[in-house]
Amino acid sequence: MSITIPMLTVFPQLDEEIITLTNKNGMTIKLSNYGATWLSCVIPIAGVAREMLLGCASLAEYKQQTAYLGATVGRYANRIANAMFNITGKQYMLTANQGKNQLHGGISGFDKRLWSIQNCSSEQVTFCLVSPDGEEGFPGKLTVAVTYQLTSDNSVSIQFMANTNKATPVNLTNHAYFNLDGDSAHSDEESRYCDARLQSLQIHADHYLLVDADGIPTGDLMPVMQHDMDLRQPKRLIDHFWESHARRQTSGYDHTYLLHKKQPIAATLTSADGTVAMDVITSLPALHVYSGNFLQGTPNRWGGAYQNFAGIALEAQFLPDSPNHPEWPQPSCFLHPHQTYQHEICYRFHSKT
């Protein structure tokens, strides 16, 4: 990684900005320092520009929507049960923002913060943020940097780095929603591709977490064969969608898979038309799959609103509620002073034509 975070440095605040990165292949991504958000990802497919991400028409709409479109989420992505955890016997109560639980860092998570900008070039940008001790109930002053890099092989690398002065759980991810068939004002001919569940997904994982209707883990990791959650071979997400007890419980896919440690590629998403695929490569131990079950009403790019299942989120992360489950087979989600949190998520796009 090309940056170092000085411990507890306070970075200057800037106005809201939109930054464009391009590569030699004509691929373009747009980013904002509001929420360190990935706004757009346009790739030429068979000579036609195709938008891969769901998004809004303006930054004002990004501030209004509640789907976390493209945002950096933290301090702890996903859910923490009962908005509480313990560190060496001391209990910490967090801000609850989804019933009695906390989701994606609380009421004012990192997705709602204005980040400062460092090291901006035509191919990469770094956003920085300081989260004060006690923010949303979390201990420790956390200094965070997120670097987006657009590479010559059509990869978007997102690198996360953080330091703290007190032990605290940290779980950072990106919440982009993908529809590789294109996010556009659909004609009648294109409308059959509006449902992102028509895409095929493969995940290299033997186990997933079964959760209740609130998204809270109900127990141990489950074999993927149970409740028809097996994605080890490419599968259209819409197939047998409502036949699984696990998916009915959460109105669709909203589940986290524990990844194979030795597999170089965590997952591959393929467009319904078969022309483009996206590999997910990550240093994080798990991948959360969310099929956009509650997207209805989220403002889109075209002055309208998305329907449910318009995009698929693939969020590399620690398992949900990990602060309360040290027994799970993954590295600790707790960051301690003099340690550095350092992880990467890479989304690599490639044409199949």
Cis peptide before 192 (omega within 30 of 0): no
Other CB atoms within 10 Å distance of the CB of residue 154: 20
C-alpha 247/C-alpha 307 separation (Å) is 18
> Are the C-beta atoms of residues 59 and 18 closer than 8 Å to each other?
yes
Phi, psi of 112 (to 5 degrees): -105, 10
Phi, psi of 119 (to 5 degrees): 50, 50
Phi, psi of 314 (to 5 degrees): -125, 95
Is 61 annotated in the active site? no
Which is the catalytic residue, given 104, 135, 136, 175? 175
Which is the catalytic residue, given 135, 136, 255, 315? 315
C-alpha 348/C-alpha 213 separation (Å) is 32
Task: Report the SS3 class of residue 185.
Answer: coil
Is 204 annotated in the active site? no
Provide the pairing of β-strand 168-169 with 28-32. Answer: unpaired
> Are the C-beta atoms of residues 16 and 33 closer than 8 Å to each other?
yes
To which H or E segment does residue 248 belong? helix 245-249
Task: Report the SS3 class of residue 59.
Answer: helix
- Take residue 237 and report the two structure tokens written for it: 């997400």
> Are the C-beta atoms of residues 352 and 329 closer than 8 Å to each other?
no
Instruction: Please identify every residue annotated as catalytic.
Output: 175, 315
